[in-house]
Structure 1
Amino acid sequence: MQDSKQETKIIIEPNFELEQGLVDALNSNLYNASKDDIISNYINNNKEKIKAQKDVNIATLKGDELRSYTLKDGSDIIFSGDWTFYVSEIKEEQINPLTRAGISYTPIITHSYSAYSWVGPRLFSIYTKGYFEYDGTTVEAHHMDSWYTRGTLSVWQVSNWEEGKYDHSSGTYSEFYGRGNFYFGFEIDGGNLILQDEYINLYVKCDEGGDYEKEMTKY
């Protein structure tokens, strides 16, 4: 029996011209518009090209076909072989913690991950927020909050949601995170429902020297 999830997921051939056009539009943001507005306008202006995308069998999609571009503002846009693409970014806020000898702090870090479709507005976003304290030998994460927001979706369910922090036993690695199963669906071609089921782990990790980076895994 064929996997029902496989039957509902439509894969499209990469259109590098469309992808590069969206990257260029996001990079040339002359009027400081939001990413949501830029993406929505770009999709509306390229409906015919998007409609011309050719459906191919799901078996042709491989993990190494994910394509990531770093934008001028430091965020990343990630294209896959289906009808969705993603924007991952970090925002920082300076903090003024109590002074402790030998202890340093990172800014407050908010890592966001937003899913979009080629046929409409933003689908959903996930966020995780916190900071780290470190002394060159050890590091400790301080998780402040993690959450998610729904965009324009026909089907939406979140399960197994978890948020918090993890300090490695060695003391030289720490992270804060938000993660869960996201089951969602949206319509294309005037009524065809596309369903996707993904486990997404969004986190920020840091070492004992205060070097941190955003990470995301999904499957």
Structure 2
Amino acid sequence: MDEEIQIDNSNYEEYEKFGEVLANSLKSAEYDGIIKRYCESNTNPVFEDVLEVLTDNKDNNTVYLKSSEKFNDRYELVYDIGDNQQLVITPSSIIVDTLTVSDDGLSRATTKSKTGTSSKTYYSVIGNKIFSLTVECKFYYNGSKAWYKSGFDYYYTKGAITLWQVSNWKGWKEKSGTSYKAYCSGNFHWGVEYDGNGLVIQDIYCKNTVTCSKSGTITKSATYK
């Protein structure tokens, strides 16, 4: 797909404006309804180009959306919409990325504890909520290293879509130098109705990571391709 779509400067400016206005709309309200309504009533020329290419490649009333990680990274837009919360726009998806941190206080002597939760919710280019995935973990840290305390959990939830399949879903945790990390990952495959007469099929690999440093700094990272 990325070799077929040419994003010119005027379309890119509209693409950026689409993201900026949507980000401002999300700073004080419920996300799912706002994103759906915004996509229904506002034009994003890049999303339209994506869907036009897909429509030209229909197979039995089904279109397949698959863009490379390089293509998505090149045109990724990121907006801050709250404390530790971001809106991410790519040519093939809309993502709300949230990091939640709680300070569990002093556990013993110089050892402290924090909980980190990394959640990402994915929406299609037509505004449907597709799925969310979350990994959470409680960490110990003491200035020299971080390590596992308890509460490791990982899960996903499905949006209201027509087709659904998840494979290779897993979670794990491990030491990483003086830091400690918790992960979840899986391959998500789904289909959503477009224009009332067909399905847009997408397949994406997602991985969430939440990390505690030796000093107790909690960070998040993600892979989606």
Q: Which runs of 5+ in 2 are unaligned?
A: 55-65
Deviations 1:146-165 (A, max 9, x none): 11010022111111111131
Task: Indicate the residue corresponding to 1:113 in structure 2.
Answer: 120
Whether contact under 8 Å (1:167, 1:175) holds in the other structure is yes
Deviations 1:20-64 (A, max 9, x none): 33433432557x321112212212322x66698223487897254
Whether contact under 8 Å (2:134, 2:154) holds in the other structure is yes
Task: Indicate the residue corresponding to 1:3 in structure 2.
Answer: none
Q: Distance in 2 between matches of 1:120 and 1:59?
A: 18
Task: Indicate the residue corresponding to 1:36 in structure 2.
Answer: 32
Task: Indicate the residue corresponding to 1:90 in structure 2.
Answer: 99
| TM-score between both structures, scaled by the size of structure 2 | 0.76
**Change over 3 Å in CA distance of 1:216–1:121 after alignment to 2:** same
Alignment length (residue pairs): 204
**Change over 3 Å in CA distance of 1:131–1:68 after alignment to 2:** farther
Q: 1:53 aligns with which of 48, 52, 74?
A: 48
For 1:111, the aligned partner's letter is: S
What secondary structure sits across from 1:204 in the alignment? Answer: strand
Matched, 1:62 2:68: no
* Mapping 1:18-29, distance limit 5 Å: 18-28=15-25
| TM-score between both structures, scaled by the size of structure 1 | 0.78
Q: Distance in 1 between matches of 2:47 and 2:139?
A: 47
Q: 2:213 aligns with which of 189, 207, 211?
A: 207
Matched, 1:217 2:223: yes
Q: Distance in 1 between matches of 2:29 and 2:213?
A: 35
The alignment-based identity, stated in percent, is 27
Q: Distance in 2 between matches of 1:152 and 1:81?
A: 21
Q: RMSD in angstroms over aligned alpha carbons?
A: 3.0
